[in-house]
């Protein structure tokens, strides 16, 4: 019985291999060379994705904070090899329905020309990726049967390349070389789906290699987990069971095994990520799941409607979407504000069915859907045929399109997009007549070449921009941040890093340059929450409360529940604005006012805002009503009050400061100097820090006015006065400093 089965298997394999062996024997040396070149070309189509999925030495995306943008630049440069080989082969393929994709790209270009994008960096990324996909669409269409067979095999190898490091990357949440479980899942999905069909239909070693890829993918989407990838892979397996009548039992068994592997992956415990680990998710949808995506899907149509026929423009989703975000989605995305950074961004619409309409308006969106529909129709058609090579490509195409509808738009991840468009081209051109070199075909090929050629310079800059940012993150050397800005001056991330560096140099006393740096971030991302918050802080500290209020109020409309915004507004209103409004912000932020008022009063008094500090003290206890210098001094010394020691000293210091100013205004400069010294003792930080600059300036003014110029000079030795501090000096103190040459001329 066993011998009979072995003979049957041998006979089936012989029948399968005989026509191919006969064809190979009849080939001339020239034909052998042509086939070898075509196989190499098929594998070169996957080189861009393979470069990005590489996790070994000199991995191009390791530690990159912008892997999708950097990956797009690298993939575009890597595709030049495939394009060069296409020219060498002198093939002019016909790609059915390619005009629909061209129309979509053209609609995006028209949108950018009629309404210039604010985020030109992301616009460039989207444009480069479109040119890359156009080139690979043409190259994929140039493949004959041999090329399509090796394209499917290449997809399987690509899956193993992507999953091998990811499955052993538990320290980083199984994110792999692409730095994101969703991106890794998407690029591996193509080979996982193709491998399942190869296991069911192919013969020889590739049958089992395909099976290993399919099994590995099933386990990965369970361990990661990536539910959108799991559902898309399940679709490919379900189609395999429905279509393969001859191997339905094997297909059903494979489906059961993959379900078991998915379940086993779900049972693998996840270790908590260390603070230094590369984040496993770069988009809110990755950390919030289906609930997040549903809220995004419900809000995106309003954006599409507002932008009309032109759409927001390619790559402008992050710049345009924040005003449409659902507050509940923000809470879910940030895990109730427990993520390391409270500010999250939605990078895309999480669905191809919506993203195209955002990028290119209703006309461009309709053309994109028409193109995908043509690919899907062709994929379904080849699944019913006996040619397993085309069927494997069809399964891969349907799976990746399903993933694009559920998780991430196809035209976003350069690794999966480049491989997918090669598959699309192979499917759409499978029935076209070989050898025809019509003018239309030549023009289409030339157009693809020209589109990529015009983007190579920008692709180079974006790739090096990512490398510079990675070096900055590794070394914290500011020169690399500056280098990233030189490569891509319009990068929102490079601008934000430059602003943070200026902020760190300024400390608590920001300069005009810091304000301008945060404004430059808003030039490209008008609704960036971090930039609005930090801009408001810089403006508040440089004495621009109205500007700070405007920035924070604008941020509050975008994120009404942000934990820092209400707190910032409450503090600023308490110190320099409307105290009643400060109390309202405290209530809405659900902050404890009994703890806030003492803190605000202490800050106001140490900033020498005596009247405001006394007003805030009245909120602590009714006995602080109608304070004056003597009463403040007496109450500060009264031990029956349960006051914090810092506030007690600040209250006493405010009394000495008030007496000093009265002495100075009355011309008793020696008495003023003595009172200022007492105020200095009280208002100096208890940790040994420097007293307020404004206090030292006033003390120096009193000393200079009383003839003690050298003592005044010593007090000013460590003072770097700001224009705001100088403007707040009492007239007599400022005049004394000027008269004695202590403030320049």
pTM for the model stands at: 0.88
- Model confidence at 35, in pLDDT bands (50, 70, 90)? confident
Closest alpha carbon to 525 in 486, 503, 499: 499
Four-CA torsion 11, 12, 13, 19, nearest 10 degrees: 100
CA distance 735 to 704: 10
CATH of domain 491-591: 1.25.40.10
Please report the pLDDT score of residue 4 as a whole number.
42
Predicted confidence at residue 275, as pLDDT, reads 46
pLDDT for residue 744: 63
227: which residues sit within 8 A by CB, 6+ positions away? Answer: 221, 289, 290
Spatial CB neighbours of 677, under 8 Å, sequence gap ≥ 6:
699
Q: Compute the distance between CA of residue 550 and CA of residue 530 in angstroms, rounded to an integer.
A: 15
Of the given ranges (124-128, 362-366, 507-511), which has the lowest mean pLDDT? 507-511
What mean pLDDT, rounded, does the chain reach?
87
What pLDDT does residue 380 have?
92
User: For residues 162 and 184, is the Cβ–Cβ distance under 8 A?
Assistant: yes
205 vs 26, more confident: 205
Sorted by where each begins, the domain ranges of the chain are 28-269+281-454, 491-591, 653-739
**Average confidence (pLDDT) over 189-212:** 90
pLDDT tens for residues 540-565? Answer: 988 899 999 999 999 999 998 888 89
Choose among 421, 415, 294, 423: nearest CA to 354: 294
pLDDT of residue 568: 92
pLDDT at 17 over 50: no
CB contact set of 49 (below 8 Å; sequence gap of 6+): 75, 158, 187, 414, 415, 416, 418, 419
Which of these, 367, 453, 462, 371, lies nearest to 420 by C-alpha position? 371
- Give me the mean pLDDT over the 232-246 stretch: 86
pLDDT digits (tens, 9 = 90+) for 94-135: 787 889 999 999 999 999 999 999 999 999 999 999 999 999
The pLDDT of residue 533: 94
Q: What is the mean pLDDT of residues 591-609?
A: 90
In the chain, the percentage of residues whose pLDDT exceeds 70 is 91
> In terms of Cα–Cα distance, which of 545, 527, 328, 442 is closest to 94?
442
Q: Is residue 511 scored above 80 in pLDDT? A: yes
* Of 20 and 49, the one with more pLDDT: 49
Q: 451-482, pLDDT tens digit by residue? A: 999 999 999 999 999 999 999 999 999 999 99
Identify the band that residue 277 occupies on the pLDDT scale cut at 50, 70 and 90: very low
Highest mean pLDDT among 77-91, 401-415, 722-736: 401-415
Query: What pLDDT score does 287 carry?
Result: 46
């Amino acid at each position: 019985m066993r011998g009979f089965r072995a003979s049957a298997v041998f006979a089936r394999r012989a029948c399968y291999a005989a026509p191919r062996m006969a064809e190979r024997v009849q080939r001339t040396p020239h034909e052998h060379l042509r086939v070898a070149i075509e196989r190499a070309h098929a594998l070169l189509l996957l080189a861009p994705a393979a470069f990005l999925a590489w996790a070994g030495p000199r991995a191009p995306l390791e530690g990159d904070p912008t892997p999708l943008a950097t990956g797009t630049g690298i993939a575009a440069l890597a595709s030049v090899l495939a394009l060069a080989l296409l020219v060498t082969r002198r093939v002019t393929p016909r790609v059915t329905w390619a005009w629909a994709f061209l129309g979509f790209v053209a609609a995006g270009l028209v949108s950018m020309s009629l309404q210039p994008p604010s985020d030109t960096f992301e616009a460039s990324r989207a444009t480069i990726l479109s040119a890359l996909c156009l080139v690979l669409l043409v190259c994929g269409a140039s493949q004959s049967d041999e090329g399509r067979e090796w394209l499917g095999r290449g997809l399987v190898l690509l899956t193993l390349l992507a999953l091998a490091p990811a499955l052993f990357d538990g320290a980083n949440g199984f994110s792999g070389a692409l730095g994101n479980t969703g991106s890794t899942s998407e690029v591996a999905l193509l080979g996982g789906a193709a491998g399942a069909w190869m296991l069911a239909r192919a013969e020889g070693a590739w049958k089992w290699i395909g099976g290993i890829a399919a099994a590995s993918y099933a386990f990965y989407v369970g361990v990661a987990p990536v539910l959108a990838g799991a559902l898309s892979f399940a679709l490919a397996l379900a189609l395999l069971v429905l279509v393969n009548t001859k191997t339905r039992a094997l297909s059903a068994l494979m489906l059961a095994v993959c379900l078991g592997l998915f379940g086993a992956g779900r049972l693998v415990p996840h270790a908590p990520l260390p603070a230094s680990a590369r984040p496993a998710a770069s988009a809110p949808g990755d950390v919030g799941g289906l609930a997040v995506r549903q809220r995004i899907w419900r809000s995106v149509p309003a954006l599409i409607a507002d932008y009309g026929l032109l759409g927001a423009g390619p790559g402008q989703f992050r710049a345009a979407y924040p005003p449409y975000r659902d507050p509940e989605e923000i809470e879910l995305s940030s895990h109730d504000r427990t993520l390391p950074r409270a500010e999250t961004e939605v990078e895309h619409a999480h669905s191809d069915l919506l993203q195209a309409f955002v990028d290119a308006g209703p006309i461009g969106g309709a053309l994109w859907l028409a193109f995908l529909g043509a690919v899907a129709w062709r994929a379904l058609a080849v699944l019913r045929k006996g040619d397993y090579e085309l069927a494997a490509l069809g399964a891969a195409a349907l799976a990746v399109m399903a993933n694009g509808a559920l998780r991430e738009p196809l035209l976003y991840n350069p690794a999966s997009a480049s491989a997918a468009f090669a598959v699309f081209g192979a499917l759409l051109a499978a029935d076209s007549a070989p050898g025809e070199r019509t003018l239309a075909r030549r023009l289409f090929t030339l157009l693809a070449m020209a589109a990529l050629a015009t983007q190579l310079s920008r692709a180079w800059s974006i790739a090096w921009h990512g490398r510079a940012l990675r070096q900055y993150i590794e070394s914290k050397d500011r020169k690399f941040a500056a280098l990233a800005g030189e490569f891509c001056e319009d990068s929102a991330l490079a601008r934000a890093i430059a602003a943070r560096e200026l902020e760190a140099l300024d400390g608590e006393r920001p300069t005009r340059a810091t304000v301008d740096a945060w404004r430059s971030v808003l030039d490209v991302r008008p609704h960036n929450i971090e930039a609005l918050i930090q801009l408001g802080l810089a403006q508040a500290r440089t004495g621009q409360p109205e500007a700070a209020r405007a920035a924070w109020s604008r941020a509050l409309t975008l994120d009404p529940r942000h934990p820092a915004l209400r707190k910032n507004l409450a503090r600023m209103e308490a110190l320099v604005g409307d105290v009643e409004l400060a109390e309202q912000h405290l209530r809405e932020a659900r902050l404890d006012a009994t703890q806030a008022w003492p803190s605000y009063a202490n800050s106001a008094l140490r900033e020498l805002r005596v009247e405001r500090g006394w007003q805030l003290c009245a909120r602590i206890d009714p006995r602080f009503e109608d304070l004056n210098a003597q009463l403040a001094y007496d109450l500060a010394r009264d031990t029956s009050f349960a006051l914090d020691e810092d506030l007690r000293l600040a209250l006493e210091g405010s009394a000495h400061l008030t007496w000093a100013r009265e002495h100075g205004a009355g011309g008793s400069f020696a008495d003023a100097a003595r009172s200022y010294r007492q105020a200095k003792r009280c208002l100096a930080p208890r940790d040994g820090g420097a007293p307020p600059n404004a206090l030292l300036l006033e003390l120096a003014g009193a000393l200079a006015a009383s003839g003690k110029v050298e003592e005044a000079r010593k007090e000013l030795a460590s003072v770097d006065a700001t224009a705001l501090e100088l403007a707040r000096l009492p007239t007599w103190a400022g005049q004394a400093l000027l008269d004695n040459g202590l403030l320049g001329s």
